[in-house]
Structure 1
Amino acid sequence: MFAPSHFTAVLLFATFASVVFGITQRSTPRAMVRYGLFCWVCFVGVVIAASWLMFFIRR
Structure 2
Amino acid sequence: MITTITLTLSILIALNFMLLIFSCNKTTKKVSQKEPALIKTNTKEIRTERLTTSHLAPTGS
Give TM-score scaled by structure 2 length.
Answer: 0.42
Give TM-score scaled by structure 1 length.
Answer: 0.43
- Structure ranking higher in helix proportion: 1
For CA contacts below 8 A with separation 6 or more, give which structure has more relative contact order: 1
- The structure with the larger Rg is 2
